[in-house]
C-alpha cells in the first residue's frame, strides 16, 4: 500500500520560514493507490493555521474523507471550527471519553483548562457524524486501523500526574482513554501515526505490534518525550533500536534537545556502536552473574566444605575444587547450551520479538524440559524431578554451611535463630517470581564476594603449608 503523509503544522519553523509554526500538530494522510485516493486529516493544530500552510503548499483540503482527532487537547483540536466552517466533513473519529473536560496543573499549582472549545452539538450542527471508538482497535478504511486503550507495558512511561479530567466537578488523573493512534499498513509492516503519545510512545508501539502481530517500520508524529528525563530517553531509544525501527519522523512534543539526541542516536555509526555495545554488555553481565552463581567463586561457601577434608597435601584438595568448577561450569553448562541449540526448542527470533513487545520469555528450566521431552519419553517429568532434587540438595547443603558459620559467630545459640531465618527466607523464595529470585541471588552473591575476597587478601600471610 502506498501512502503520502504531509505535516501541515507543528512546533518548528521550516528552513525558509515560509510556513506558520505553532505548538500543535496536524497531518494529512493520503492513500495513493486507491481510486479515488483516500484522504484523512489527523488533528488540526491549536489555531487553524494549518489551513494557511496547506494553501501555501498547494495542498487542497476540499475532498477530505474524514477527520481524526488523536485526543482532546487544545493544540490538536483548536482548528476544528475553522475546518468545519470551510470544508464539508462527513465523519469525525475520536476515542471514547473524548468530550471530557481536560485540565493541566501548572508549576504554581493553578489548574488550567486545556481541552476543547466545542461540544458534540457544535460538531453535529455541521452535519458531521461523530464516531466515538470504544473498542481497542477498528479498521476505518482498508489498510488504516485506529487504536486506543493502550496497555501500560513499560515501567519507565508512567504518565504525567499533572494532567486531569473533570468528572461531576471532581478532578481526576487523566489516563488518556480517549487518545488514539493510526496504524498504516505498508508492504513490510506498519507505520504508526501519533498525536502526542501521552500513554507512552513505546506503550503505543508495543500494543499495536502485539495486536497486529506485524513489524513496526516507522513512527510519525508526537512522542511527548519533552518531559522525559535522561533515563527514560535512553530506554526509549534502546527499545526503538531493539524493534529494529526503520524510520522516525517525530516532532511536536518531542522537545528540541531530545529530537536532536534521537536524530544522532539513529545514525549508522551510533546504531552499530549502540547495538554492539548493548549486546556485549548483556553477554558479559549475564555470563559473569551465572558463572559466579554456578561455581560460587569468591563466595566462601565451598571453602567450608573443602576445609573438612583431612588430606595430607592441600594441593590435592585444591585440585578437587578445580575439578568441581570445571565439571559444573564448563562441561555441564556447555552440554546444556548444546542440548538447547540442537533440540530446536530455542527460537532466537521469537525471543527477540517477545522482548520487544514486553512479553516475558520462557525461562531456561522450561526450555530444557521441552528439549528433553522432544526426544526422551517423560523427559519433561524427569527434568522436573531432577530440578526438585537438585534444589533440595542445594538447600540442605547451604543450610549446613550457614549453620556452621552461625556456630562460629554466635556459638550454639546462634543456630536456632539461623534455622528460623533460613526457613522464613526459603518460604519467601517460593512466593517470589523467578526473575526477582535471580536478581536477588545475583545481588547477594556479589555482596558475599566482597568480604570474602577482602578476607583472603588480608589473611594471605596466615596460610601455612606443612613442611616436607
More confident residue, 245 or 293: 245
Q: Both 178 and 318 in a single domain?
A: no
Of the listed ranges 228-232, 256-260, 308-312, the one predicted with least confidence: 308-312
Residue pLDDT, tens place only, 37-66: 899 999 999 999 999 999 999 999 988 989
Cα–Cα–Cα angle for 289, 290, 295, rounded to 5 degrees: 105
Mean pLDDT of 295-314: 71
Q: Both 247 and 282 in a single domain?
A: no
Q: Both 218 and 291 in a single domain?
A: no
Q: Which of 217, 233, 266 is the last residue in one of the domains?
A: 266
Residue pLDDT, tens place only, 96-114: 999 999 999 988 889 999 9
Which three three-digit cell numbers place residue 295? 561455581
Residue 10's pLDDT is 94
Residue 465's pLDDT is 60
306 pLDDT band, cuts 50/70/90, is confident
Q: Both 217 and 302 in a single domain?
A: no
Q: Both 59 and 88 in a single domain?
A: yes
Q: Both 13 and 69 in a single domain?
A: yes
- 203 in a domain, yes or no? yes
**Number of structural domains found in the chain:** 2
More confident residue, 366 or 8: 8
Residue 356's pLDDT is 47
Mean pLDDT of 287-309: 67
Residue pLDDT, tens place only, 397-433: 888 888 888 888 888 777 888 888 888 888 888 887 7
Q: Both 298 and 239 in a single domain?
A: no
- 344 in a domain, yes or no? yes
Q: Which of 207, 236, 266 is the last residue in one of the domains?
A: 266
Residue 97's pLDDT is 92
Q: Both 58 and 90 in a single domain?
A: yes
- For residue 19, the enclosing domain spans 3-266
Question: Quick one: DSSP state of residue 180?
Answer: -
Which pTM does this prediction carry? 0.60
Q: Both 236 and 331 in a single domain?
A: no
- 250 in a domain, yes or no? yes
For residue 78, pLDDT beyond 90? yes
Peptide bond into 36 cis (omega under 30): yes
Helices (H), 154-223: 201-212
For residue 259, pLDDT beyond 90? no
Q: Percentage of the chain surpassing pLDDT 90? A: 43
Q: Both 213 and 340 in a single domain?
A: no
Residue 126's pLDDT is 94
- 419 in a domain, yes or no? yes
Residue pLDDT, tens place only, 440-462: 877 777 777 788 778 878 887 77
- 468 in a domain, yes or no? no
The HSE-up count of residue 140 (CA atoms within 13 Å, CB side) is 27
- 272 in a domain, yes or no? no
With beta carbons less than 8 A apart as the criterion, state whether 32 and 4 touch.
yes
The HSE-up count of residue 61 (CA atoms within 13 Å, CB side) is 28
Residue 357's pLDDT is 46
Q: Both 125 and 147 in a single domain?
A: yes
Q: Which of 266, 287, 322 is the last residue in one of the domains?
A: 266
| 222: three-class secondary structure by DSSP | strand
Residue pLDDT, tens place only, 166-216: 888 889 999 999 999 999 999 889 999 999 999 999 999 999 999 999 999
- Residue closest to 366 by CA, chosen among 377, 375, 354, 379: 379
- 467 in a domain, yes or no? no
Amino acid at each position: 500500500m502506498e501512502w503520502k503523509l504531509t505535516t501541515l503544522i507543528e512546533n518548528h519553523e521550516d528552513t525558509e520560514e515560509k510556513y506558520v509554526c505553532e505548538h500543535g500538530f496536524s497531518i494529512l494522510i493520503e492513500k495513493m493507490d486507491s481510486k479515488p485516493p483516500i484522504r484523512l486529516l489527523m488533528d488540526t493544530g491549536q489555531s487553524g493555521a494549518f489551513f494557511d500552510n496547506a494553501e501555501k503548499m498547494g495542498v487542497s483540503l476540499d475532498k477530505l474523507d474524514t477527520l481524526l482527532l488523536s485526543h482532546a487537547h487544545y493544540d490538536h483540536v483548536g482548528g476544528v471550527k475553522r475546518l468545519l466552517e470551510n470544508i464539508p466533513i462527513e465523519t469525525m473519529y475520536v476515542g471514547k471519553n473524548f468530550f471530557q473536560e481536560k485540565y493541566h496543573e501548572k508549576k504554581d499549582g493553578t489548574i488550567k483548562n486545556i481541552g476543547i472549545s466545542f461540544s458534540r452539538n457544535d460538531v453535529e450542527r455541521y452535519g458531521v457524524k461523530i464516531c466515538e471508538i470504544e473498542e481497542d482497535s477498528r479498521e476505518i478504511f482498508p489498510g488504516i486501523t485506529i487504536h486506543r486503550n493502550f496497555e501500560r507495558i513499560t515501567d519507565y512511561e508512567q504518565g504525567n500526574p499533572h494532567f486531569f479530567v473533570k468528572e461531576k466537578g471532581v478532578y481526576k488523573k487523566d489516563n488518556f482513554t480517549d487518545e488514539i493512534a493510526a496504524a498504516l499498513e505498508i508492504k513490510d509492516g506498519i507505520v504508526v501515526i501519533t498525536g502526542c503519545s501521552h500513554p507512552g510512545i513505546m506503550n503505543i508501539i508495543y500494543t499495536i505490534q502485539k495486536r497486529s502481530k506485524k513489524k513496526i517500520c516507522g513512527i510519525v508524529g508526537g512522542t511527548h518525550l519533552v518531559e522525559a528525563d535522561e533515563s527514560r530517553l535512553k530506554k526509549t531509544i534502546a527499545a526503538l533500536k531493539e524493534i529494529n525501527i526503520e524510520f522516525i519522523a517525530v516532532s511536536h512534543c518531542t522537545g528540541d534537545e531530545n529530537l536532536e539526541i534521537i536524530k544522532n542516536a539513529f545514525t549508522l555509526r551510533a546504531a552499530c556502536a549502540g547495538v554492539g555495545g548493548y549486546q556485549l554488555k548483556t553477554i558479559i553481565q549475564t555470563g559473569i552473574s551465572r558463572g559466579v552463581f554456578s561455581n560460587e567463586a569468591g563466595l566462601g561457601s565451598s571453602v567450608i566444605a573443602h576445609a573438612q577434608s583431612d588430606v595430607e597435601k592441600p594441593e590435592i584438595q585444591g585440585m578437587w575444587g578445580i575439578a568441581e568448577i570445571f565439571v559444573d561450569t564448563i562441561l555441564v553448562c556447555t552440554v546444556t547450551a548444546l542440548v538447547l541449540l540442537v533440540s530446536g526448542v530455542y527460537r532466537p527470533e521469537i525471543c527477540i520479538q517477545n522482548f520487544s513487545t514486553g512479553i516475558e520469555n520462557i525461562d531456561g528450566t522450561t526450555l530444557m524440559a521441552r528439549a528433553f521431552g522432544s526426544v526422551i519419553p517423560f523427559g519433561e517429568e524427569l527434568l522436573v524431578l531432577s530440578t526438585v532434587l537438585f534444589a533440595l540438595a542445594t538447600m540442605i547443603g547451604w543450610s549446613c554451611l550457614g549453620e556452621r558459620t552461625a556456630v562460629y559467630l554466635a556459638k550454639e545459640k546462634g543456630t536456632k535463630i539461623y534455622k528460623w531465618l533460613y526457613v522464613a527466607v526459603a518460604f519467601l523464595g517460593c512466593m517470589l517470581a523467578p526473575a526477582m529470585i535471580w536478581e536477588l541471588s545475583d545481588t547477594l552473591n556479589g555482596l558475599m564476594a566482597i568480604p570474602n575476597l577482602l578476607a583472603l587478601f588480608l589473611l594471605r600471610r596466615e596460610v601455612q603449608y606443612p613442611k616436607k
